[in-house]
Each structure stands twice: as structure tokens, then as C-alpha cells.
Amino acid sequence: MDFIRDIDGGFSVIENIKVSGAREGKYGVSVILAPQSTASGVFTTNKVVAAPVTYTKKVVKNGIVSAIVVNSGNANCFTGQKGIDDCEELVNLVSKDLDVPANEIAICSTGVIGREMPMDIISKVAYESISKLGDKPENSLAAAKAIMTTDTFPKEEACEVTLTTGEVIKIAGITKGSGMIAPNMATMLSFIVTDAVISQNAIKKALKIAADKSFNMIIVDGDESTNDTCLMLANGSSGVNVENDGEIDSNFQEGLNHVCINLAKKMARDGEGASKFIEANVQGAESFEDAKLAAKAIVTSPLFKSAVFGGDPNWGRIVSAIGYSGCELNPDIVTIAIADDEDETDLVRKGEILAFEGTPYLGCAEKIMQSKNITVKIDMFLGDGEATARCCDLTYDSVKINAEYTT
């Protein structure tokens, strides 16, 4: 898509926003300051909801957010009224220090469940973070780092999108999350900012579409956190409106999908204990929903993910996962292929098994399975439903990280 151009610098590519991050031991605080932005969010559907999620849902409902404060190290979940009080305390502190109305400040947390927030440390780190606010690439990187828990690298993205009108806008984002992490160092947190002008209805719709193609299509361990949050702000600093007659510019949507998918890929690649990155692409499903079911079943299957770790082109596990996914399927006509960045081979072609012992298909498949990036391609030949899901492999280290961290 030549209307999308990736650029470096994370949030620093957007005019009129300032960001920062600071850390003390396992506690980090990031601040994103983007005054009077149109805002939307998608949140965990877990019935056990952390206090900051409850709090921020109300803030976002008003449609205007000026700042986001994020802490790592404590999820502020299962903390009752005290948890909500702590949210308010932190927001009031930030509100005074930044001179921004309290009801325009969103708050997110990630970390251990069931412990009160250590407000003395968090407040101190928050003050420090605010004192470092800036608009340089290093400020964006500091923000991406301060929200990390067991992540092994910071995750930033930015791109420039040429709209169908020829005008140009930018979208940038940071994310954290590599599983619902020991002990309950939960959570995917993603923050996207664009300089586009966009209405509250449109930003809500666009973010939902992008999240469904990206964050909602990655699986690390299959456990859904109590704190998952993706917030998007549009500060309008480009002066470019991305809506025409109430329709969102299709290039803007593609650009937003692009940023979210790249952030999601980085999360999957950094899954706890991961040694390989896996994409499952399903085509020809009876519907989009069916394609999603099948793709997600593949990237959720612990058996398939163990096989990838072991380098085994075990297509029987792929077939089995699709079979129990709930999607429509005719095993007699399905095609299953695997690929890496260089090679591609069919394993099963229109129901016929090709990858027998001694065949070149199996030989090629075994070579591909040694790669770091593996794509599974399914064609169902039933319709035009298409979806892609992503995950990492299941390794000894995946178990180790979750088993050895004790409370």
C-alpha cells in the first residue's frame, strides 16, 4: 500500500503532543499530553475489571481526553473502592501538575492483581515523568519503555498516510504486553495518537475496525487480562479532516489498521518465552466470522504452537484446530500451506495430502519450520471470508516464566 509510509520517532512525529516515561524499580509511569483530543477506547471484556478501566471508560465517554497517565507494576485490580480512590488521587495530582481538567485525564495500569497501589512510589515516579515531558523521539521511547512489564523490547510505530484526497496525516502508537504475565502482570495496553481531524463517532468506528484486525487477533497464552485497554486520541494538529460526507477516508482506515497490526505483531513476537512468530491466514471461508474463528483456533492451539517450537510441520494439528473452531469446513477441498520469508509449500491441496514422508513437500516444510517467521495459509474454498491471526510458539520458557515467578 504505497499511500502508507512507515517513519521513525514514535509519538514525536505528531505535532502538539508531549510524552514522557520514568521508572523506579518495577514501577513505571508514562504520560501522554495531547490537549483537547477527540478520544475513543476499547477495553477488556473480562467481568473482573480493574479500577482504572472502570474509571477511564467514563472519561472516554465524554469524548475529549487531554492526557493519559499509565503506570506499570501494579494493575490496581480487585482493589475495591480504594482502587477507584487511588485512580482519582493520581488523576488529581496529574491534573494540577499539568494544569489539565481532571475529567479529561485517562488512566491505565498494568501489573500485579489484588494489591493496593503503592501511591507514594507511583506519585513520585509520576512527578518525575511529568518533569521530563518532551516532543523528541527519545521522549516517545521513554514512554514506550516505562509501560513495559515482562516485555523484552519497547514497541513503537509511526506512519504517514496520504489520504484519497492527496492530503497527508500521521498516526503513531506505543504498546506493551507479552502475555498475561506472572503473577498476573497482566495486560495489553496500546496508545494511538493521530494528528487528523476526526469526529467522535468516526474515531470510535475506525478504532473498533482496526482493533478487530490487530489486537483482537493475537494470542499469547489465551488468558484475557482484567486491564486490557487501547486508547486512541486525535489532536487535529494537521488540520486535515479524514471524513468526507460522514465517510471515513479509506486510506486513513488502512493506515490506522497498519499501525495497529504492526504493534500487535510486535506484541506477538515478544510473547512470553517466544522463539518464533506465527501468522495464520485463512482465505475462502464462508464468512469473515468463520475466517476469524479458524485463524484464532490455529494460533490458540497449544499443540500446534508446541509443534512449531519443535520445528514439526504438523498439519494434522492445524486441521484439527480448524475442525473444532466452529467454522464451516469441508476437509475434502481444503488447502493448507506453510511459508517463511523465502519459501512456501502446500501440505494439503484441495483435500489431498502432499506432505508425505519422502516427498519434496515435506522436505521443504521441514526447512520452513526452522525459520523465525512462519505463516500458515489456509484456503477453505467456501466463500470470500478472510482473516489473519498472530501468535508466538509455545516454548519451555513460556512455561518457565509463568511457573517460576512466585508471589
Which CB atom, from 163 or from 293, has the smaller least distance to its own copies? 293
* 319 near its own copies, judged by CB under 8 A: yes
Nearer to its own copies, 245 or 406 (CB): 406
Q: Does 182 bind its own copies (CB under 8 A)?
A: yes
CB of 120 to its own copies, least distance (A): 18
Residue 33 CB contacts under 8 Å (≥ 6 apart), including other chains: 17, 18, 19, 66, 67, 98, 100, 133
Q: Which residues contact 383 (CB under 8 A, 6 or more apart)?
A: 284, 285, 286, 287, 290
Binding segment (CB under 8 A) for its own copies, from list 149-157, 207-215, 232-240, 323-331 = 323-331
Nearest to 112 by CA among 248, 226, 231, 249: 226
CB 71 within 8 A of CB 109: yes
The contact mask relative to its own copies for 385-404 (x = CB under 8 A, - = no) is ---------xxx-xxx-xxx
Q: How far is the CB of 324 from its own copies (least distance, A)?
A: 4
C-alpha span between 331 and 24 (Å, rounded): 55
Contact call for residues 19 and 134 (beta carbons, < 8 A): yes
Interacting positions 44-103 with its own copies (CB under 8 A) = 45-49, 77-78, 80
Residues 6+ apart with CB under 8 A from 364: 343, 345
358 binding its own copies? (CB under 8 A): no
Candidate residues 114, 131, 152, 289; the one interacting with its own copies per rule CB under 8 A: 114
Strand partners, 24: 27
Q: Which grid coordinates are listed for 247?
A: 465517510
Using an 8 Å Cβ cutoff, are 383 and 283 in contact?
Answer: no
Q: Contact letters (x/-) for its own copies, 267-306, by CB under 8 A?
A: ---------------------------------xxxx--x
Set 162, 187, 194, 300: catalytic member: 187
Pairing status of strand 105-112 against strand 218-219: unpaired
Name the site residues for its own copies (rule: CB under 8 A).
45-49, 77-78, 80, 112-114, 179-180, 182-184, 186, 221-226, 300-303, 306-307, 309-317, 319-324, 327-329, 331-332, 348, 351, 353, 357, 362, 394-396, 398-400, 402-407
Catalytic residues: 187
